[in-house]
Amino acid sequence: MAPALKAVLSLALMLSLLSGCATFGRWGYETLPTWMMWRIQTYLDLEAEPKALARRHLEGLHEWHQSTQLAPLGVLLRQVRAQVEAGRIDGRAVAGLRESLGDGLQPVLDEAAPRIAEVARLLEPDQIARMRREFDKDNDKLRRERLQGSAAERAEARSKRYIERAEFFLGDLNSAQRKLIRERSAHWPPVEQQWYEQRLSRQKELLALLERLRSERPPLPVASRQMREHLNRYLQWREGAEREGGMAALAAGDLLLVELMASTTSKQRQHLLERFDDWIQTVDRLAARR
């Protein structure tokens, strides 16, 4: 997925969780700790003290996010909405949105790192082994979905994913917009393999870190620093071919997003503005509760 689109979709995910829309079923923002605990149990199957500690930290992280991060999110939503209404979604606006979302992730990672580290020091070897098996299952599924088939088949699958996500924001796309997405997808930088290898590398690094924290049981400040350093790498470009491919995909994603927004009809823009209005109202309501 292009980094530009990924940044926008990460915002869409948060907003959908905020509003509890049907896309995510019953998992709205207010039930995030429950959903996240369910995901953690899928990968680690915690018991007793680690499970209770993880639950407390998830609830604490959720309360912290609601009290400190929703107000800035509301400001960002209003800024983007104003740009949409004024028709100012150009390359600079897209880059600015991506930068704002990255800035918004940093405090979340900083807040989460010591909480994750404290639980990690209590893990058992079989739980880390379980996470490794779950990663393998996830990777097998992604490899089948993203890395098989000819270049043309991958491009078609890529365009289908983009169309589905674009329609989340804009409603139904017209034939010209679908054609635009398919044409751009056909010439998209072939970065899927690099993305997959990066995913494997980061999973390997995480598993090694969890094993080190489990076996060495360092003081919590040390464990927190190591976890924070690991999480921060998710916000950084790596050097070499991965960086070059990522930058190429970034430019292609920016261009497609700008072109698509320039092609929107009045009905589509209204659809998007109404979504923003709903999200802004929801963010304001949730923030006011704190």
* Pairwise CA distance, residues 156 & 161, whole Å: 9
Q: How confident is the model at residue 228 (pLDDT cuts 50, 70, 90)?
A: very high
The three-state secondary structure class of 26 is coil
* Pairwise CA distance, residues 260 & 181, whole Å: 8
Model pLDDT, residue 16? 45
Q: Is 146 in contact with 207 (CB distance < 8 Å)?
A: no
Model pLDDT, residue 138? 94
Higher-confidence residue: 113 or 32?
A: 113
Mean predicted lDDT score pLDDT of the chain: 84
**Which residue from 252, 272, 251, 250 is spatially nearest to 261, judged by alpha carbons?**
272
* Pairwise CA distance, residues 105 & 102, whole Å: 5
Q: How confident is the model at residue 240 (pLDDT cuts 50, 70, 90)?
A: low
Domain boundaries, the chain: 3-288
Model pLDDT, residue 102? 75
The C-alpha torsion from 214 through 218 and 221 to 226, rounded to 10°, is -60
Phi-psi region at 45: left, alpha or beta (left = phi > 0; alpha = psi -120 to 50) = left
pLDDT in tens, 163-196: 998 998 999 999 999 999 999 988 887 778 888 8
As to burial, measured by CB atoms within 10 angstroms (0-12 exposed, 13-18 middle, 19+ buried), residue 117 is buried
Q: Is 154 in contact with 63 (CB distance < 8 Å)?
A: no
Model pLDDT, residue 190? 75
Which of 90-94, 172-176, 255-259 shows the lowest mean pLDDT across its residues?
Answer: 90-94
- How far is C-alpha 37 from the chain's CA centre? 18
Q: What is the mean pLDDT of residues 61-82?
A: 90
Model pLDDT, residue 11? 45
Q: What is the mean pLDDT of residues 223-243?
A: 79
Amino acid, res. 109: L
Model pLDDT, residue 19? 44
pLDDT in tens, 264-279: 999 999 999 999 998 8
- Residue 12 clears pLDDT 50, i.e. is over it: no
- Residue 95 clears pLDDT 90, i.e. is over it: no
* Pairwise CA distance, residues 287 & 86, whole Å: 27
Model pLDDT, residue 13? 42
* Pairwise CA distance, residues 280 & 259, whole Å: 26
Model pLDDT, residue 124? 95
* Pairwise CA distance, residues 166 & 164, whole Å: 6
pLDDT in tens, 105-158: 888 889 999 999 999 999 999 999 999 999 999 999 989 888 888 888 888 888
DSSP H helix total and E strand total for the chain: 12, 0
Amino acid, res. 135: F
Q: How confident is the model at residue 15 (pLDDT cuts 50, 70, 90)?
A: very low
Q: Write a three-state SS string for 191-229.
A: CHHHHHHHHHHHHHHHHHHHHHHHHHCCCHHHHHHHHHH
* Pairwise CA distance, residues 164 & 185, whole Å: 14
* Pairwise CA distance, residues 129 & 65, whole Å: 31
